[in-house]
Every structure is written in C-alpha cells, then in structure tokens.
A and B are shown apart, each in its own frame.
Chain A
Amino acid sequence: MTNEVLPKQPTYYEEVQRKGYSRRDFVRFASMMTAFIGLEQSAIGQVTTALETKPRLPVIWLHFQECTCCSESFIRSSHPIVADILLDKISLDYTETLMAASGFQAEEALHNTMTKYKGQYILCVEGSVPLAADGVYCMIGGKTSLQILEEAAEGAAAIIAWGSCASNGCVQSAKPNPTKATPIHKIIKNKPIIKVPGCPPIGEVMAGVIVHYLTFGRIPELDKLGRPKAFYSKRVHDTCYRRPFYDAGLFVESFDDANAKKGYCLYKVGCKGPSTYNACGVMKWNNGTSFPIQSGHPCIGCSEENFWDNGRFYERGSSFAGFGIEADADTFGKVALGVTTAALVGHAVATNIGKSKFIKEHQQEGKESEHELKS
C-alpha cells in the first residue's frame, strides 16, 4: 500500500451542520438511534460523541439480484438525518442506485474506495448472487456479481447483508431457483457478516446497525442466525398489539368477517408472526405509522429464511412438499391413517383365516377348562 495521506473526512456532526440541521435535531437523532439499537439512556452520550468525533465511515453499497426495496426502506426511515447522513453521505463512495457517477467514473470511484480504505470500509450488499451459468444472470460493468462481491469483500472490515436476498436468498432462491441465487454468507466466509433480513428490512433497523458499528467500532451482538439481537430477538407475535386476541382465542376466520372488522388475531388466516423474528410490532414502518398486521394483513414472515417455500401465506396448515399444492400435513396424515386402518382390518381378517387352527385350539383349551370347573 502507498503511504499517501488520506484526505481528512468530515465527521457526521460536521455533515449534519453543513446540511443545515440544528444541534437539537442532531441530539434527537442520536437519542433515537440509541434507543433503537437497544442501549440504555446513559449511552446517548457515547453515541453522540461517536457521531461528533468519528469521521464518516467509507461504505460501498452493492446491488445484485434485488428490487432495491431495501434502499427504498432505508431512505424512508423516520428521521431525515438517517437518509441524509447515513445514506446520502455514507454511501457516496459507491452505490449504483444513488451515486451521481456512471460508467468508468463509477468503476473508478469503487476502485478508489477499495484501495484507499482497504480494511476499513463497510461493504453493504443488497441482493443475492446468482451462481448458475457462471453468474451471467447478474453482471455489472462486464463482471459477474460473484467477481464484484469477492473483490469488494477482500478489503472490507465487515459486511452487512441487507434484506432477505442477501441474508437468505429471498424470492430468487425459491424453488426451483433457476439462477442458483445464493446469499452472501454462503459465499464469503472470512469476514464478519451482519444479516439484516426482511423484505425489506425496517429503515430504522438498517440505520441502527450502522450507528452501532460507528459508535463501538465493532459489529452488534448477533443471534444464532447472524442477525443483530437488538432487533431480531423477539417474534413479531410477542410484540404484536393483537396478541391479547390470540391468547383469548379470538381469531379472524376470513378476511371479510366481523372478526376482521373487530381487529382480532390473524393467526388463522396464515399470520407468520408466531414464527417470525423482527421488530415490526415495536418500530413499525413509515415513521411508525403502521405495519402489516395493523393494516389487517397477516405477517408473511418476510424476514425468515425460505419464507416463500415454507407453506402458504394465508394458511396455518403445514405444507407437504412433493404431494401437490393442495396437500398439507393433515391431509397426508388422514390418508395415511385411512391406509393404516385398512391394512389393519386386512390383517385382522388374514389372522382369523391364517391362524384359525391355532386360535381354535386356544378357544377349545379355554372352553375345556371352563367345563371342568365347577360353577
């Protein structure tokens, strides 16, 4: 590496001031972020100091097989500073969706960041990587997404896998997965990876992950599936405001019934809240306006692995792969029960025929004893 002196990067606070935010706005943002990432009140100072003193984090934001809903969600997070600073400034280095540069200029910007900040930058990946047909399903600037990812991951300090595509493949990797769409953690093994699943993930969650890294200089505490515990340790079900209806046993039976109007639990119309780990019930979406269940739609479990293939969206019944679309475990079970019962009836008949002599002997023996006993 060259010994060239890196140009001094402005801190977040400087950027905020330049953008015209007041000190009050800034502190409000810092407090909000502290709460989101699950820290106690005393840590507000720590977060504020970090944002005041630390130069902005160089970030490369790659887009592969995705729909950009993660970026959309991010720029709609509840505090404008999130979008302005964390996205506008943070990802200035390289992001296909929002950067001004294009073509060779863009490639150069990417290359520059990769060499200048080797070992320091955060690599954000949105989308999965197709591995089939040598990766031709997703190519940028003549390179396959696999090549780009491997190149960019090389010098990254950490990788954030934004959204379900990068975390677990999402819809592209649903059966039969024609492009062999592959999540990041299955390709890059030697870097810390933070999975932020969801289709899309909540904007505040995305901002929170970055602020956490910025404040403490290390990735947040992750659960067993590699997701930040602060946001993914509780099920949607556990924080759902309709939970009392669930416990009471009051359910929406169909979308147009009176129960739906009353706002009963959506469990029986397929809500995946009881198996989905996310912060929707607490943080909600679009400035805390609402979340799917609040708008009367069951959770589809979009932040869970393989949620496209794990059963149907509007049913609780567990699907049974390989036995047709309509087959669920209970139908299969009932058929198996019928077959078993039929087999047993057949066996009972066969027993009485095949072992008739034996059974008769026993009966005679028993009757004989009965005769010989006095009553």
Chain B
Amino acid sequence: MANKYLHIHKLRRVYVWELPVRFYHWLNASVILVLIVTGFFISNPLALMSNAEATNQYTMGWVRYIHFIAAYLFFFNFLFRIYWGFVGNKYANWRQFIPVSKRFFKEMWTVFKIDILMLKKNGQQQDHLSVGHNAMAGFIYFLTFIVFLIQCLTGFGLYASMSDWWLPKMFAWFPAMLGGDIVTRQIHHWAMWFFILFAVVHVYLVFYHDYVEGRGEISSMGGGWKFIEEDVFEKNKHMTPNPEKNK
C-alpha cells in the first residue's frame, strides 16, 4: 500500500434492479421522450412547406397516432410497475415510495443534509445511505407516479371522445369533472413540463451519485447491480437465511 492513510474498500455486489424494473425504466424513458416530442408537435405543429395536396399528407395524423400508441405503452407500463411494487424485490416495493414510517421521514432529512446542504456528520464526509432508492428519491418518484396518473387521466380523458373502446371511455368523467376539454388540455400540457424538469434533475443526480459515491449508480439500470462496502454489508445484514438458497 503506497499510502497508509488510504482505505481501500472491498465492494460487494447487490442485485438491486430486477430485469422487469430495468425494462420498465427504459421503456418508460423512451415512451416519455416520444410523448414529449410528439406532444410539443401536437400543441404547436411545425409549418409544413409542402405543395402536396392535403389528401396525400397525414403529418399531424401520424404524429398523433404515435402519441397515442406511446400513451398506451406508457399506461400499461405504469400499471405493470404498480403491480411490480407488490411482487418485486425489496427495492422495487411500494414501501420505497410512500412515506408511511417515521424512519422514511428521518432518512429524507438525512439525504437533504448530505446531498443538498452538504453538511458533514462527525467530521466525516458522508454516511452510507440506502442501497436502492434513498428516501428522498423514493418520495420524488411517488410524486412522479401522481403526475403519471394525472397525465393518464387528462390524456385518456381527452382521447375518450375519439375512441370506441371501453378503456379510454372509462376516463371520460375526468374532463367532465374539470369542466371541459379546454382546461383538461391545459393541465395535460402543464404537467408535461414536470417530466422535462424531472428528467434533467434525475439524470444529473444519477451522475452525481455515481461520481461521489462510486458504487455503480449509472450502470445499475443496465445490469441491475450496485456495489456496497463490505463493512456496510456486514453491519446491515440480517440473519434470516434466504429461503431460496436451500432449494
């Protein structure tokens, strides 16, 4: 060891994001990107410089078609994620997102102190936090799910009158409750900005955690693995044997 003050960590591999979670994440990211781009186009279409007859063009039609397909994918993907919140591993569980315990709030406060105020604890730079989402991230994702819901309600609500299928028709009550399509469309448009702001902060924070903590934050959504220090692992492991191990 060249530097006697340098503490070399031993890292242990933890399978955090299961394949369905990773699949959900990337499908969600791509359909949201498609929805934002097509959504902007629908709200303010580009001026087409074409001499073709209207009969031979279907630009707006295609853009809307893609928007609606992406919306269905988004919706079912969202439903799937809710389901996975009940059957997935402990990092995918719904308890990671909904602040119900005192511990959850305590951890949120800790995250706030460490990552935003950059306070030091006992002269140390950083406490080791959760392996999956930290509580703050979990809570933000919970808000995100609420915005997902708002987009589904307003989006399918607007779509309801164009469809014969019972599924979008089930959302027809929502614009009626808000008092019409004009205001529903506006809410749909406002809420879209949440996704843009979220994406920017989300990508930044992934890089931030990867850079500061060095535990494979970025790559975790690829292979599913994160890495934690051996001593942290020893401190936090519980003694109940894994039932699947003895099979």
Binding site for B on A (CB under 8 A): 168, 223-225, 233-235, 238, 244-251, 253, 267-268, 272, 274-277, 301, 304-307, 310-311, 316-320, 329-330, 332-333, 336-337, 340-341, 344, 347-348, 350-351, 354-355, 357-359, 361-362, 364-366, 368-369, 371
Interface SS of chain A: helix, strand, loop or mixed? helix
Chain A residues, CB < 8 A from B7: 361, 365
Stretch at the interface among B100-108, B140-148, B204-212: B204-212
Residue contacts A-B, CB under 8 angstroms, 29 given: A168-B179, A224-B173, A247-B60, A248-B54, A248-B58, A249-B46, A249-B59, A249-B63, A272-B182, A274-B181, A277-B161, A305-B180, A307-B182, A311-B182, A311-B186, A316-B44, A318-B185, A320-B190, A329-B186, A330-B193, A333-B196, A341-B200, A344-B200, A347-B208, A351-B208, A355-B212, A358-B126, A362-B212, A369-B8
Q: A246-B60, A333-B196 are in contact. Are A310 and B183 (CB under 8 A)?
A: yes
Q: A318-B186, A329-B193, A357-B125 are in contact. Are A364 and B6 (CB under 8 A)?
A: yes
B35 to chain A, nearest CB (A): 15
On whether the beta carbons of A333 and B176 are closer than 8 Å, the reply is: no
On whether the beta carbons of B44 and A317 are closer than 8 Å, the reply is: yes
Complex Cα–Cα for A249 and B63 (A): 9
On whether the beta carbons of B45 and A267 are closer than 8 Å, the reply is: yes
Complex Cα–Cα for A139 and B214 (A): 76
Complex Cα–Cα for A268 and B44 (A): 7
Interface size on B, residues (CB 8 A): 53
A239 to chain B, nearest CB (A): 12
| Complex: chain B residue closest to A267, CB-CB | B45
Complex Cα–Cα for A267 and B118 (A): 50
- A348 CB contact (under 8 Å) in B3, B8, B45, B208: B208
Complex Cα–Cα for A341 and B204 (A): 9
Complex Cα–Cα for A354 and B214 (A): 17
Q: Is B167 an interface residue (CB 8 A)?
A: no
Complex Cα–Cα for A64 and B6 (A): 85
On whether the beta carbons of B212 and A351 are closer than 8 Å, the reply is: yes
Q: A249-B48, A355-B125 are in contact. Are A319 and B186 (CB under 8 A)?
A: yes
Chain A residues, CB < 8 A from B9: 365
Chain A residues, CB < 8 A from B184: 275
On whether the beta carbons of B180 and A318 are closer than 8 Å, the reply is: no
A244 to chain B, nearest CB (A): 5
Q: A246-B60, A248-B60, A337-B196 are in contact. Are A304 and B180 (CB under 8 A)?
A: yes
Chain A residues, CB < 8 A from B116: 347
- A248 CB contact (under 8 Å) in B2, B6, B59, B183: B59
Complex Cα–Cα for A249 and B61 (A): 8
On whether the beta carbons of B197 and A224 are closer than 8 Å, the reply is: no
B84 to chain A, nearest CB (A): 29
- B183 CB contact (under 8 Å) in A245, A306, A340, A350: A306
| Complex: chain B residue closest to A262, CB-CB | B54
